[in-house]
Amino acid sequence: MTANLTHYLALSAALFGIGLYGVLARRNAIAVLMGIELMLNAANINFLAFWRFLAPNSVEPQVYVLVVLTVAAAEAAVGLAVVLNVYRSFGTVNLDEIARLKG
């Protein structure tokens, strides 16, 4: 028995769905960031699965993965600074309690 491409793709779709749930449903901004990280990981699994099963001699998917990692790191750094800033001003990091701007 071997695992093939569709196994990996199905897994990444499920992981993406779970991450999306984290983004949509969690109140805590940092928990939302974790959901975003899960979605990015799903994208990486996709890229590497396509690389392995469809184009093992191509570099492009690997470059995508590196870019995703960079963006994840940069987004986490800036995002957590934003969250700390909000925490200092509002005393909370719950998204639905931070609503001074009329929606």
Partner 1 sequence: MITDYRPLLPYLILTLLAIGVAVADTFIKERRTPWLGWVTTAGALLVIAVQWFVPGVMHVELWNGFVRHDAFALGFDLVFLVALALTSLAAASSEHRMKYAGEFYALLTFSTIGLMIVAAAGSLLAVIVGIELSVISLLALSGFAKRELRSAEAALKLFVLGGAASAATFYGASIIYGVLRTTMFGPMSAIVSGPMDVGEMVALWAGLALVLGGIGFKISAAPFHLWAPDVYEGAPSLMVAFLSTASKAGGFAALLRILGDGLGPLAAHWAPVVGMLAALSMIVGNFGAIGQTNLKRLIAYSGIAQAGYILVAVAGLIPGDPSLAVGSVIMYLLLYAFTNVGALLLAQAVKEATGSDEVSALRGLHKRSPMLAFAALMILFSLGGIPPLAGFVGKLYLFAAGWQGAQYVLVVLGAIVSVVALYYYLMVALQVYIRDPADDRRLPVGRSLAVSLAICVIAMLAIGIYPRPAVLLGKDARAGGAAPSQRESVQAAPGRLAV
Partner 2 sequence: MISPSIFVFAPLASAALFTALMVVRSRNVIHAGYWLLPCLLAVAGLFGSLEAHFFVVVQILIYAGAILILILFALMLTRDVMDPKQRQTTKFAPLAVPLCIFVGLGGALMMARAPWPAIQAAAPGPAEQTKALGLGLIGDYALPFEVASLILLAALIGAICLAKAEKEPAAPEPVIDLRGEIELEESVSAGAADGH
Establish if 59 lies at the interface with partner 2 (CB under 8 A).
yes
Work out the number of other CB atoms within 10 angstroms of the CB of residue 80: 13
Rounded Cα gap, residues 49 and 4, in angstroms:
9
Closest separation in Å from C-beta 81 to partner 2: 4
List the structure tokens of 56: 């093992």
Interface positions, 54-83, toward partner 1 (CB under 8 A): 54-55, 58, 60-61, 63-64, 67-68, 71, 74-75, 78-79, 81-83
Among 58, 67, 60, 63, which residue's Cα sits nearest to residue 40?
67
Establish if 11 lies at the interface with partner 1 (CB under 8 A).
no
Establish if 92 lies at the interface with partner 2 (CB under 8 A).
yes
